[in-house]
Amino acid sequence: MSVWRSIFLAVCAAIAVTQTAAAGPEVASPRTLDRPDLEAWLDGMVPYALKAGDIAGVVVVVVKDGSVLLQKGYGYADVSKQLQMDPEQTLVRIGSTSKLFTWTAVMQLVEQGKLDLNRDVNDYLDFKISHDFGKPITLRDLMNHRGGFEEGIKDVLRTDTRDLPSTESYLKEHQRPMLFPPGEVPAYSNYGAALAGYIVQRVSGEPYERYVEQHILAPLGMLHTTFEQPLPQRFADHVSNGYRTTDSPAGESEQVITRPAGSGTATAADMSKFMIALMNDGQFADGRIVQAETLRQMLTPSESALPGFATMAHGFFKELHNGRVVLGHGGDTVLFHTEFNFLPAERVGIYYTFNSRGRDNSVYLARDALFDGFLDRYFPGPPAATDFATLPTAAVDAHAIAGRYESSRRIVHGFLSLFYVLQQTVVRDNGDGTISVPRQTAPGLATYGEIGPQLWREKGGPGQLAMQSVNGIKTIVDSADPTSVLQEAPFSRSSSLNLTVIMGALVVLVLTVLGWILSPAFKQPAGVPEDSLAELRRLRFRIRIAAAYDLIYMTAWFFIVQSAINLDLGFYSSHLDPVIRVMQVAGVLAFVAAGLGLWSAWRLAQLKVPRWLRIRSFVVAASLLGVVWIAVIGGLTRFSLNY
C-alpha cells in the first residue's frame, strides 16, 4: 500500500474514531446537526482529505428542513490561478446525477398524461428498438436500468467541442445490443437514460436541454445550471477545471454525448434548490416541478428487493444507511465526482462534487468517507457486527458461491469485451464457512459470513450479498448496488483461463522472436541430416514470422485497449473506426498465422530433427492458437464498429 493511501485511510479512520469514541460499544451518540458543529467537522475533515488524496477541490452543501444549513467550497477551481471553489459561483460537472432531471422530466409528462411508464418505448420513437427477447422495453424499465442493454462507450465522451453529435444521431447510430430480457436483470445504462431524454424531447416538442431549462431549472430558480454543451459563454468564467491530480495540468472539457444521462453543469447552491424541492412535495419557494402525488410515485420503488438491499425508485437509488432510508444518485465523469443524497424522513440532504480523481483514484475513498462520516456523526446506527453466528450450511454454501463473476454492466459484442474477460470479481471460499470478496472502492477484501440460505453479511461492515439463480445463471446481488449484479462467468470467459492463455502465449512469442534475433539464421542444429536442413530452415522461418506477426498484432490491441484502462474515454470515437477496421482485418491473418504454425509444426514432426525442436514448434503453434482464442473470446475478430 502506498504512503499516501496509508495516510488517507488513517485520516478516515481517525474521523470515524472521533465520532464514535464517546458513544461506547452499543451505539454512537448523535451530534446535533447545526451550522457550527457541521462547519467545524467539515473544516477538520475535508482539507485533510483533499491534501492526502491529491484532490484539487470540492463544493459541499447541506440542507435541513427546507433550507440551506451550510454551503462551502474547499480547495481550488483553478489551481494555477489559486481560484477558490465557491458554492454560489463555481459550476461543476455533475455527471450521472443529471439523470435525476431526466427522470423528473419523464414524470412531469406522465403527470400530464403524455407518457405511460408501462408502454413500449417504440410507441414514442421515430426509430425501432428491437424486441430481441420477444418483450417490449418500457419507460419504467429504462428508469430502473432494466432495459437489458449491453454497455457501450464509443462516442459517449468527447473533449473536442466542435461538431458534437446530437443525442438523436447517437441513439440511432449506436443502438446497443440486448443482453437480457427487459425488466429482469439490472444493468446500468447511459444509453437507456439518453433514450428516455429523447422521448421527453419528442413528446414535449422541445429540445431536451430547453425542456429541462424551462420546466425544471427556471421554476426552481436554478439560474446557474445548464445542460447545454458546449457550455454557454455566460458561464465560461465560472466553471471549475477538472484534474487527474492537483499537480497535473487541468483536463480538457468533457462533453457528454448522451446528454440526458450526464451533461449537467451546476453550482452547489442550485443543486440545493432541486434537493429541497424533492423533500418538499415538489416545490421550492414559489416554484413547483411536480405534484406531491407524482413525487411520491417517483420516489417509491416499483422493483422488489430483499430486506436491507438497495433498489431503484424510478431512477433514484433507494438505500438503507445506518437504518435510515437514503434517496439519491451519484455522478461521475472522468474528472468530476458527485454525491447527491437526502434522507426524506429526516428532511436532511447533502450534496458535494470533487473536481479531481486524485492519486490512484483516491476520490472514491474521499467520497465515501464524507458521506459515511456525515451519517455516522449526525444519524448513527448500531455498530456493525464484527462476529456473528453463521449457519451450519455455511461451509457447503461458501463452496457453492465461490467463483469468478462478471458484472451485468459489460461489453460482450465489441472488442472491449477483452477488458471484461481479463478482469473479473473473484469470490473466494476461505475454508472456514466464510467468503472473501474484493471491496468496490477501498483496497483489500471484505469477509462475509452466512446468516440465511445463501445470504451473507459483511463482518465489521454493513454489506450483504445474496446468491440467486437468474435464468439458470449463478448471480450475486450486492445490497449496496441496485444498478447491476454479478453473474458467474462461463469457463470460456473465465479470467483465470484467459489470463493464463494470453500470458503464456505472449511469453512464448516473445522468446521465439528474441531467439530469432539473437541466433544466427545459418546456424545448424546438431543432429539434423543435410537433406532435411533446407526444409527445417524454411519451416522455422515461417513459425518465427507467424510469431512476430502475432506479437505485433497483440501489442497493437494493447495500445488500443489501454485507453479504457486509463479512462481516456474520448479516445473511443468514430474517428478511430479506420484503425479498428484495420485491426479486425488483421485478425484474419492471426488465423492464417495459427494455421501456418500448426502446419509447420506438423511438417517438422515428419523430419529427422531433435525432439526438442519438435516440442518447441508445437509449443509455438499452441501459442499462436492461444492468440486466436483470445481474439475470438475477446471480441477482437467481430467485424463491428459498435462497442
DSSP E strands in 123-189: the ranges are 157-158
Number of domains in the chain: 3
Distance in angstroms (rounded) separating the CA atoms of residues 339 and 361: 16
One domain for residues 507 and 454 = no
User: What confidence score (pLDDT) does residue 520 get?
Assistant: 66
| Relative orientation angle of helices 495-518 and 530-565, to the nearest 10 degrees | 130
Q: Which residues contact 516 (CB under 8 A, 6 or more apart)?
A: 544, 547, 548
Residue 9 belongs to some domain of the structure: no
One domain for residues 525 and 405 = no
Residue 504 belongs to some domain of the structure: yes
* b/e code 86-96 from CB counts within 10 Å (16+ = b): bbebbbbbbbb
Distance in angstroms (rounded) separating the CA atoms of residues 241 and 203: 35
Residue 115 belongs to some domain of the structure: yes
Per the CB < 8 A criterion, the answer to whether 125 and 302 are in contact is no
Residue 233 belongs to some domain of the structure: yes
User: What confidence score (pLDDT) does residue 524 get?
Assistant: 62
Last residue of a domain, one of 473, 489, 505: 489
Q: Are strands 464-470 and 473-478 parallel, antiparallel or unpaired?
A: antiparallel
Distance in angstroms (rounded) separating the CA atoms of residues 587 and 11: 50
Distance in angstroms (rounded) separating the CA atoms of residues 532 and 515: 21
One domain for residues 321 and 444 = no
- The DSSP string of 4-45 is HHHHHHHHHHHHHHHHHGGGTTT-PPPPP--HHHHHHHHHHH
DSSP E strands in 146-212: the ranges are 157-158
- Residue numbers of the domain that contains 128: 56-357
Prior bond to 525 cis, omega within 30? Answer: no
119-154: pLDDT as tens digits: 999 999 999 999 999 999 999 999 999 999 999 999
Nearest to 343 by CA among 303, 381, 305, 386: 381
Distance in angstroms (rounded) separating the CA atoms of residues 229 and 334: 17
Fill in the amino acid letter for 81: K
Q: Would you call 71 helix, strand, or coil by DSSP?
A: strand
Residue 18 belongs to some domain of the structure: no
User: What confidence score (pLDDT) does residue 537 get?
Assistant: 83
Distance in angstroms (rounded) separating the CA atoms of residues 626 and 186: 33
Q: Taking the model in full, what pTM does it have?
A: 0.92
One domain for residues 345 and 198 = yes
Fill in the amino acid letter for 510: V
Instruction: Indicate which CATH number applies to the domain containing 226.
Output: 3.40.710.10
One domain for residues 100 and 197 = yes
Last residue of a domain, one of 306, 338, 357: 357
Distance in angstroms (rounded) separating the CA atoms of residues 331 and 338: 5
Nearest to 74 by CA among 426, 353, 433, 357: 353
Tell me how far the alpha carbon of residue 477 is from its chain's centroid: 16
User: What confidence score (pLDDT) does residue 28 get?
Assistant: 63
| Three cell numbers, residue 518 | 539473437
One domain for residues 482 and 518 = no
One domain for residues 483 and 502 = no
| Three cell numbers, residue 263 | 451533461
One domain for residues 469 and 505 = no
Q: For the purposes of burial, counting CB atoms within 10 Å of the CB of 408, is it exposed (0-12), middle (13-18) or buried (19 or more)? A: buried
User: What confidence score (pLDDT) does residue 459 get?
Assistant: 93
Per the CB < 8 A criterion, the answer to whether 100 and 338 are in contact is no
One domain for residues 349 and 450 = no
One domain for residues 447 and 506 = no
Distance in angstroms (rounded) separating the CA atoms of residues 64 and 308: 25
| Three cell numbers, residue 590 | 492471426
Residue 369 belongs to some domain of the structure: no
Residue 364 belongs to some domain of the structure: no
One domain for residues 347 and 453 = no
Mean pLDDT by 10 residues, the chain (643 residues): 44 43 53 97 97 97 98 98 98 98 98 98 97 95 97 93 92 96 97 98 98 98 97 95 97 95 98 98 97 98 93 97 96 97 98 97 96 97 80 95 97 92 95 94 90 94 94 96 97 95 97 87 64 81 95 96 88 94 96 96 86 91 97 94 92
Distance in angstroms (rounded) separating the CA atoms of residues 167 and 494: 35
Residue 553 belongs to some domain of the structure: yes
Last residue of a domain, one of 442, 460, 489: 489
452-466: pLDDT as tens digits: 999 999 998 899 999
One domain for residues 540 and 587 = yes
Distance in angstroms (rounded) separating the CA atoms of residues 581 and 52: 44
